């Protein structure tokens, strides 16, 4: 066994001893950190779902342009050309009155029989324009200025609502990330400080025997990492179960909501959670050690 492995073995044994000196408090700290990390993982997952939803909506963002029924085919083609050159317009498709009727029939499904009661086709021909979601306001404003345009129907309220929701989730994610970072660092630092206080005699003795600071610090670093990583792992398991339940529940009632692949969502949220737990464990332990050393 090499000297490094022997030392690592010693450090781990010491970290376990330090952990055991305040077992109940440390276990409760793991529980608190698990809850904090779980909230973080839920928000990380929500943010991922929100981003997927937003990008799906962005890709499918459309507006409908209605024009004068008696417009000649040349004038219609001119209108289409004029729309095509507007910045942010991806494509323009002409929807005839028949196609508009068929679409509504398809949307209504079993209830489409109601259309049989109509004597004539009430639907109008229109232009279906695929656009860049971020330019929806300028595009609609521009189209309204074009000749022969009767009405522009956009779903701007819904799109704005979705964008606002994503902003709220992103803000909440950032806010919770900062709050979680601070509370984890403070909590881990406190655990380390408490461990140092409980073992102050041992540290003084080791110092007088000539032990380097790094040698004495490593078991505390391992303790901090162990606490945050175990909390992160428990939170990760709970989060994975929640994602699985959510996907199984959303399958039937909300099939149209665009969701990221479950495996992708699990990998992203779990990877982020473990990285954050690892980073905060190191920062928290160092913070705890140096805040005591300064005194």
Partner 1 sequence: MNQSVIQAKNITLKYPNGNIALKDIGFECDKGEIVFIVGPSGSGKTSLLKLFMGIEQPSQGELSILGEKVHASNIQKIRQSIGPVFQEFRLLEGRTTLENVMMGMRFLNYNLKEMRDQSEKALVRVGLEHKIHSDVDHLSWGESQRVAIARAVARNPKLIIADEPTGNLDHANAINILELLTSFKDEETTVLITTHATHLIETRERHHLITMNQGQLLWEKKCYE
Query: Which is nearer to partner 1, 212 or 271 (by Cβ)?
Result: 212
Structure tokens at 93: 């498709």
Query: Which is nearer to partner 1, 17 or 46 (by Cβ)?
Result: 17
| Span of 6-14, 53-61, 77-85, 110-118 interacting with partner 1 by CB under 8 A | 6-14
Which residue in the set 3, 23, 145, 157 belongs to the binding site for partner 1 (CB under 8 A)?
A: 3
By CB under 8 A, tell whether 211 contacts partner 1: yes
| Span of 78-86, 96-104, 204-212, 278-286 interacting with partner 1 by CB under 8 A | 204-212
By CB under 8 A, tell whether 295 contacts partner 1: no
CB of 277 closer than 8 Å to CB of 180: no
Identify which of 197, 284, 193, 290 has the alpha carbon closest to the alpha carbon of residue 232.
284
| Span of 3-11, 43-51, 110-118, 123-131 interacting with partner 1 by CB under 8 A | 3-11
Which residue in the set 98, 103, 147, 212 belongs to the binding site for partner 1 (CB under 8 A)?
A: 212
Number of residues that bind partner 1 (CB under 8 A): 18
For partner 1, the binding residues in 141-170 under the rule CB under 8 A are: none
Which residue in the set 1, 85, 107, 254 belongs to the binding site for partner 1 (CB under 8 A)?
A: 1
By CB under 8 A, tell whether 215 contacts partner 1: yes
By CB under 8 A, tell whether 209 contacts partner 1: yes
Which residue in the set 74, 111, 157, 201 belongs to the binding site for partner 1 (CB under 8 A)?
A: 201
Residues that bind partner 1 (CB under 8 A): 1, 3, 6-7, 10, 17, 201-202, 204-212, 215
């Amino acid at each position: 066994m090499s000297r490094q492995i022997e030392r690592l073995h010693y450090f781990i044994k010491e970290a376990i001893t330090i952990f055991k000196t305040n077992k109940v408090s440390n276990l409760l700290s793991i529980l608190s950190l698990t809850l904090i990390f779980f909230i973080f993982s839920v928000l990380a997952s929500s943010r991922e779902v929100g981003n997927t939803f937003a990008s799906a909506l962005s890709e499918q963002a459309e507006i409908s342009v209605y024009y004068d029924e008696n417009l000649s085919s040349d004038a219609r083609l001119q209108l289409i050309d004029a729309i095509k050159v507007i910045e942010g317009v991806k494509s323009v498709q002409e929807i005839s009155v028949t196609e508009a009727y068929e679409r509504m029939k398809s949307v209504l499904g079993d209830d489409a029989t109601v259309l049989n009661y109509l004597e004539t086709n009430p639907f109008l021909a229109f232009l279906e324009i695929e656009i860049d979601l971020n330019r929806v306001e300028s595009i609609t404003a521009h189209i309204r200025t074009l000749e022969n345009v009767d009405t522009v129907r956009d779903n701007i309220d819904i799109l704005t609502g979705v964008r606002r929701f994503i902003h709220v989730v992103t803000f909440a994610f950032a806010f919770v990330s900062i709050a979680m970072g601070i509370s984890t660092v403070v909590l881990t630092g406190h655990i380390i400080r408490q461990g140092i206080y409980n073992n102050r005699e041992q540290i003084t003795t080791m110092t007088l025997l000539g032990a380097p600071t790094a040698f004495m610090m490593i078991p505390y670093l391992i303790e901090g990492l162990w606490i945050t990583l175990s909390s992160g792992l428990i939170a990760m398991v709970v989060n994975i179960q929640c994602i699985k339940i959510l996907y199984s529940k959303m399958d039937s009632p909300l099939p149209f909501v665009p969701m990221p692949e479950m495996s992708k969502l699990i990998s992203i949220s779990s990877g982020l959670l473990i990285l954050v737990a690892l980073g905060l464990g190191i920062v928290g332990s160092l913070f705890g050690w140096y805040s005591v050393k300064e005194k």
